[in-house]
A and B are shown apart, each in its own frame.
Chain A
Amino acid sequence: MSFLKEFRNRELAEALVRKLRDIPLRKPIKICHVCGTHEWTIVHYGLRSLLPANIELIAGPGCPVCITPALDIDQAAELALQGKIVTVFGDVSRSIGTKYSLEAVRSEGGSVKIVYSIIDAIKIAKSDQSKEVVFFAVGFETTAPITALYILRTPPKNFSILNSHRYVPPAVINLYSRGKLEMDGVIAPGHATTISGLKAYEPLAKEYGIPVVASGFEPVDVLMSIFMLVKQISEGKAEVLNQYSRSVTWEGNVKAMQTIGRVFELTDAHWRGIGKIDHSGFVLKDEFKDYDARYKYGLKNVDYASEMHPGCRCAEVMLGRIKPTQCPLYMKTCKPNKPIGPCMVSVEGACRIWATHMLLP
């Protein structure tokens, strides 16, 4: 069922590249993707080196760990230092807030536990109801449904979430419309789009003339999606197409989106290093505020101003304005084993992907 033989087939990839090179383009173009896993595939299989020089692939803000505000990490750290059990995904624990990461807090005696899912966090809360347990809910629409589902199932009273969920489509549309993200075509993130549905990206094509293709994650998937975009750009078309139809549909996972909608509402939200983006964040509805750690523990919202470390250029990396190798800290003071900027933390961060593939300035 994996079809890896086809989707990792070298001859198919080479044939696609030859076809791509034959497409006439009047000017150089930028194709933007919004998913750390796409960046991994592109770097791991060396896809950039296969493309003609007039097609640039840029990595947009597609890594939830990278865009989780430093303040939110600070709040999680504060709770752990107060003795609450903070449960968190592994890569999130390594991202540094304004001062330190949750990993560092744990080494200082703070109670931080790595979990694979909110399901594990609730198990921890149920196992000892005398302890306060907080789940640091980070992630896009791919992750938000499971958070919503388990909030609906009435977790124990000693459980709450520190919510940082974000929604990709409005962010991409908004960043493009404000001129912050430059692109001629967009590769929609296959798994996030599995949930939201392709229809969420329709405004990009309809209102802004930007073609969209939802893509799978194997090298042939990504090359095929690039081909489908470049062909449209060459012909002056802007449609929303589906290369990853084995998982993505036009409507998406309706049940998952409805579950999100029962628990969360959309609000303007801050993306680390990028700023506030309209309708791009999920916040808990009032009826669930007892599960909102910020409300429960009276956490104060503070200023997002000083959230990037001196010299760190992650913000520009996340908008595709510079390559990781153009950051002055890259592989000098900021390395995978001792990250400074958020893009060097997660396995989905562009800097870390480049670094682990030995890409040097």
Chain B
Amino acid sequence: MCLAIPAKVIEKTGNIAKVDFGDSTLREVDVSLVEVSVGQYVLVHAGYAIQVLDEEEALKTIELLSDMLSE
């Protein structure tokens, strides 16, 4: 139910964006509740974007993980 799938924003018109879930699965989603531009990735749940995925933070998590493992 709280499943959210990452998708890339490929077009944006007002509150509605066309997103690509990969494999060319294209959908229209509501992006009113996030600040997003074309090219960024959003997490999509029940027809709307709950968040813009932060690539830099993903890299930080991976870095944190390697720090943990090398302690």
Interface size band for A: 35 or more
Q: Does A245 touch B at the CB level, under 8 Å? A: yes
Could you give, for residues 25-67 of chain B, a 1 whenever the CB lies within 8 Å of some chain A CB and a 0 otherwise? 0000010111000000101011110110111011011100100
Number of B interface residues in the complex (CB < 8 A): 30
| A119 contacts B47, C-beta separation under 8 Å | yes
| B47 contacts A191, C-beta separation under 8 Å | no
Bound complex: CA A47 to CA B32 (Å): 37
Bound complex: CA A139 to CA B2 (Å): 8
Question: Which of A97-105, A142-150, A200-208, A312-320 interfaces with chain B?
Answer: A142-150
Bound complex: CA A63 to CA B32 (Å): 26
| B30 contacts A116, C-beta separation under 8 Å | no
| A142 contacts B2, C-beta separation under 8 Å | yes
Bound complex: CA A140 to CA B51 (Å): 16
A19-B69 contact in complex given A143-B46, A146-B46, C-beta closer than 8 Å: yes
| B1 contacts A346, C-beta separation under 8 Å | yes
Q: Does A355 touch B at the CB level, under 8 Å? A: no
Contact residues in B for A220 (Cβ distance below 8 Å) = 65
* Chain B positions near chain A (C-beta within 8 angstroms): 1-4, 6, 8, 30, 32-34, 41, 43, 45-48, 50-51, 53-55, 57-58, 60-62, 65, 68-69, 71
The 3 closest A-B pairs by CB, nearest first: A117-B47, A246-B58, A142-B2
Question: What are 24 A-B residue pairs whose CB atoms fall within 8 Å in the complex?
Answer: A1-B6, A1-B53, A3-B58, A19-B69, A65-B1, A89-B1, A91-B1, A117-B46, A119-B30, A120-B47, A139-B46, A140-B1, A142-B50, A145-B50, A220-B65, A227-B68, A243-B61, A245-B57, A246-B55, A246-B61, A247-B53, A247-B54, A256-B33, A346-B1
